[in-house]
């Protein structure tokens, strides 16, 4: 059996920005501390929610290093080092490993895409280049590529490939992954509204957008699932469902940054091409925030 990087709720943390779109490290530090102080089980830095796609190469390295130092081994830090350029993904992964990352999150190649054989070659090349455990990130809605259960089974044979973040939304696919891969591949939900069904199939937790603003509650839902207390977990998850869905009423991470700004965390704006939410969506978001007690 491979070592599990974390169980429970890992926050897919945003990258706060100043008004000039530079990284706001003070706000990032406060958000990291808020999450850890309120039960978050891992910090995932420079992922989709962290706007890694609009970071410069140096910013990507600086933000990863800052997060690793700020967390200071309180919980695992997983660095997003994926790319559609295998060579670049290897370079980023090696740098994150040197910094002391506890895990790497590697999205499937996007735009140029690839075949299933190409996915195996891509991920194997990266896994061969590092010793840090790897979480594969399957999000077909963003990349246009789905990692099939059969491909995951082949990749799970590599000692450094330990988990998958499943954001396909296809629970039948998750069931097949669990059946094929067993203990060779941990599964994390990539969708906040599917924590319970995925964990009921043996998943270890979630890599969560919701946890940015509700870390304790997200951790609690996962912990109840880990304890096989599914009725209690379902009750708590259902109470948060409207807000969890509101966090995706516009392109993520626009709504979660708006939510954090409303709460006073100074998350700032998103970088272009992402723009501010419409007034109608802000109203939807604030109404949902009131219902879960985030604002009055």
* Strand (E) or helix (H) holding 217: helix 215-226
Closest by Cα among 139, 162, 153 to 47: 139
Q: What's the CA gap between 31 and 13, in Å, rounded?
A: 8
Q: What's the CA gap between 143 and 44, in Å, rounded?
A: 19
Residue found under tokens 């009750």: 235
Q: What's the CA gap between 70 and 5, in Å, rounded?
A: 19
* Strand (E) or helix (H) holding 260: helix 254-263
- Count other Cβ atoms within 10 Å, centred on residue 170: 16
Q: Which of 165, 204, 257, 284 is catalytic?
A: 165
Q: What's the CA gap between 151 and 148, in Å, rounded?
A: 5
Q: Which of 69, 110, 137, 276 is catalytic?
A: 137
Token readout for 254 is 């626009």
Q: What's the CA gap between 214 and 195, in Å, rounded?
A: 14
List Cβ neighbours of 265 (8 Å cut-off, separation of 6 or more).
16, 27, 30, 31, 34
Closest by Cα among 193, 143, 140, 214 to 206: 193
Helices 25-37 and 57-71, interaxial angle, to 10°? 40
Active site residue 113: no
Active site residue 165: yes
> Is residue 293 exposed (0-12), middle (13-18) or buried (19+ Cβ within 10 Å)?
exposed
Token readout for 15 is 């990258």
* Three-class DSSP category at 166: strand
Known catalytic residues?
A: 137, 165
């Amino acid at each position: 059996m491979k070592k599990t990087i974390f169980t429970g709720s890992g926050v897919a943390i945003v990258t706060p920005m100043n008004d000039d779109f530079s990284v706001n490290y003070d706000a990032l530090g406060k958000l990291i501390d808020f999450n850890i102080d309120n039960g978050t089980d891992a910090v995932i830095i420079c992922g989709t929610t962290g706007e890694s796609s609009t970071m410069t190469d140096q910013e990507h390295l600086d933000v990863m290093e800052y997060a690793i130092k700020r967390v200071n081994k309180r919980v695992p830090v997983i660095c997003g080092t994926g790319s559609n350029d295998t060579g670049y993904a290897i370079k980023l992964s090696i740098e994150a490993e040197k910094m002391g990352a506890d895990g790497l999150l590697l999205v499937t190649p996007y735009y140029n895409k690839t075949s299933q054989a190409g996915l195996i070659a891509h991920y194997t090349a990266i896994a061969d280049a590092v010793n840090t455990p790897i979480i594969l990130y399957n999000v077909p809605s963003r990349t246009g590529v789905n990692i099939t259960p059969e491909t995951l089974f082949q990749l799970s044979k590599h000692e450094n490939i330990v988990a998958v973040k499943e954001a396909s939304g296809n629970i039948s696919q998750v069931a097949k992954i669990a059946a094929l891969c067993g203990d060779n591949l941990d599964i994390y939900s990539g969708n906040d509204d599917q924590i319970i069904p995925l964990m009921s199939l043996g998943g270890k937790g979630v890599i969560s957008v919701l946890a940015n603003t509700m870390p304790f509650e997200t951790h609690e839902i996962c912990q109840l699932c880990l304890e096989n207390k599914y009725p209690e977990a379902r009750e708590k998850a259902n109470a948060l469902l409207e807000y969890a869905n509101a966090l995706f009423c516009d392109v993520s991470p626009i709504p979660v940054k708006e939510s954090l700004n409303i709460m006073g965390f100074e998350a700032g704006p998103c970088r272009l091409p992402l723009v501010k939410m419409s007034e109608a969506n802000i109203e939807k978001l604030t109404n949902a925030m009131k219902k879960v007690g985030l604002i009055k």
